[in-house]
């Protein structure tokens, strides 16, 4: 692998642990000002110190992220459909590799919709992006999107989608955690990170998901709503970091979460003393 490509990946997947905590904040590209991401800067800023990479579009990057921030950027470069459409799979490449380079990002990300009405279009989009990425040393992440069909998230489907992306030549894939996830990992010769999906019932569920995904072979998470839609987003991401980089289990993560939550409540109650 070329030095530039390798260097960009190493900024996101930390060489010390071989793992990563990516913070996904790119939802507005098809969901608009979704709950708790209405003001991207307000959501993103407090979480940045605990993220290994930040996933955004160029619009949010330019308007809502301090260019002096020391955070590798995973740039969302596909789009074209909004939440108003039943079928979200009609996407194209929305951002040039030239602009990605100008923004000094560490990787570009694009959704593929395997099995959808625009399957071929999304796979060809990915192929073009990989060709350009190879030319400029820019890693490409495929996102195995399911649109509104969340029930598609099973091992058989995700193993197929991840493998297709790997065969096209991506450097990493974002997918979903599922039962029998090792089947997905085993079929993918490139690293996998897992998304969180819609907000789960409890933080225990989130910590179990992260722990199990890593145990099964994911190299990390690229998670959004289960972090920033929580009332205590910093506490959630700190706990996820401990699972990811310090091998904490879900119970230990919960303790970290509760401690951080209590400390925050004390800071709010008595800002002068702490
Ligand atoms: C979809 O908007 C993006 O691919 C998200 O970055 C991805 O779904 C991860 O975010 P979440 O954990 O909220 O599902």
What is the model's pLDDT at position 269? Answer: 86
Gyration radius of the chain's alpha carbons: 18
For residue 80 and ligand 1, the question of a CB distance below 6 A is answered with no
For residue 25 and ligand 1, the question of a CB distance below 6 A is answered with no
Closest atom, ligand 1, to C-alpha of 29? 2
Residues ≥6 apart with Cβ < 8 Å to 54: 22, 23, 25, 44, 48, 65, 71, 72, 73, 74
Topology of the domain covering 3-229: TIM Barrel (3.20.20)
pLDDT tens, residue by residue, 190-218: 999 999 999 999 999 999 999 999 999 99
- Residue with the larger pLDDT of the pair 9 and 147: 9
For ligand 1, the distance from its centroid to the CA atom of residue 268, given in whole angstroms, is 30
Closest atom, ligand 1, to C-alpha of 24? 6
Domain boundaries, the chain: 3-229
What is the model's pLDDT at position 29? Answer: 97
pLDDT of 274 strictly over 80 = no
What is the model's pLDDT at position 270? Answer: 84
For residue 52 and ligand 1, the question of a CB distance below 6 A is answered with no
pLDDT of 266 strictly over 70 = yes
Split at pLDDT 50, 70, 90, the class of 149 is: confident
pLDDT of 153 strictly over 90 = no
CB 171 within 8 A of CB 137: no
Alpha-carbon distance values, 3 to 8, 87, 138, 183, 227 (Å):
9, 39, 11, 31, 33
Q: Please provide the average confidence, as pLDDT, over all residues in the chain.
A: 96
For ligand 1, the distance from its centroid to the CA atom of residue 44, given in whole angstroms, is 14
Of 78, 26, 17, nearest to 52 by C-alpha is: 17
Split at pLDDT 50, 70, 90, the class of 152 is: confident
For the annotated catalytic residues, the residue numbers are 174
Distance of CA 262 to the CA centre of its chain: 28
pLDDT above 90 as % of the chain:
92
Q: Phi/psi of residue 175, each to 5°? A: -140, -165
Probe ligand 1: pick from 143, 149, 205, max atoms within 8 Å of CB?
143
CB 61 within 8 A of CB 74: no
For residue 224 and ligand 1, the question of a CB distance below 6 A is answered with yes
For residue 196 and ligand 1, the question of a CB distance below 6 A is answered with yes
For residue 26 and ligand 1, the question of a CB distance below 6 A is answered with yes
CB 55 within 8 A of CB 222: yes
pLDDT of 170 strictly over 80 = yes
Split at pLDDT 50, 70, 90, the class of 150 is: confident
CA-nearest residue, atom 1 of ligand 1: 27
Mapped onto helix, strand or coil, the DSSP state of residue 7 is helix
Pairing of strands 92-93, 107-112: unpaired
What's the rounded mean pLDDT across residues 74-78?
A: 98
For ligand 1, the distance from its centroid to the CA atom of residue 230, given in whole angstroms, is 15
CA-nearest residue, atom 2 of ligand 1: 27
What's the rounded mean pLDDT across residues 142-158?
A: 92
What's the rounded mean pLDDT across residues 117-142?
A: 97
Residues ≥6 apart with Cβ < 8 Å to 50: 21, 23, 234, 237, 238, 241
pLDDT tens, residue by residue, 33-57: 999 999 999 999 999 999 999 999 9
Question: In angstroms, rounded to a whole number, what is the distance separating the alpha carbons of residues 107 and 101?
Answer: 9
């Amino acid at each position: 692998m070329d030095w530039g490509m390798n260097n960009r990946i190493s900024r996101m997947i930390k060489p010390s642990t071989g793992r990563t905590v990516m913070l996904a904040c790119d939802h507005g590209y098809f969901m608009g000002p979704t709950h708790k991401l209405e003001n991207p800067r307000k959501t993103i800023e407090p979480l940045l110190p605990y993220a290994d990479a930040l996933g955004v579009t160029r619009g949010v990057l330019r308007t809502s992220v301090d260019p002096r921030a020391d955070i590798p950027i995973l740039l969302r470069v596909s789009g074209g459909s909004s939440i108003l459409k039943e079928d979200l799979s009609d996407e194209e490449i929305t951002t040039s590799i030239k602009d990605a380079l100008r923004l000094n990002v560490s990787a570009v990300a694009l959704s593929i919709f395997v099995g959808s009405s625009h399957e071929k279009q999304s796979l060809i989009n990915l192929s073009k992006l990989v060709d350009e990425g190879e030319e400029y040393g820019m890693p490409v992440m495929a996102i195995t999107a399911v649109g509104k069909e969340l029930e598609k998230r099973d091992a058989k489907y995700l193993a197929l989608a991840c493998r297709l992306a790997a065969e096209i030549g991506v450097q990493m894939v974002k997918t979903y955690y599922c039962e029998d996830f090792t089947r997905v990992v085993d079929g993918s010769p490139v690293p996998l990170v897992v998304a969180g999906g819609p907000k789960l019932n409890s933080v225990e569920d989130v910590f179990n998901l992260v722990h199990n995904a890593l145990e099964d072979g994911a190299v990390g998470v690229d998670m959004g709503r289960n972090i920033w839609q929580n009332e205590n987003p910093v506490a959630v991401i700190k706990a996820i970091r401990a699972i990811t980089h310090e091998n904490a289990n879900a119970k230990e993560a919960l303790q970290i979460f509760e401690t951080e939550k209590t400390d925050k409540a004390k800071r709010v109650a008595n800002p002068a003393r702490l």
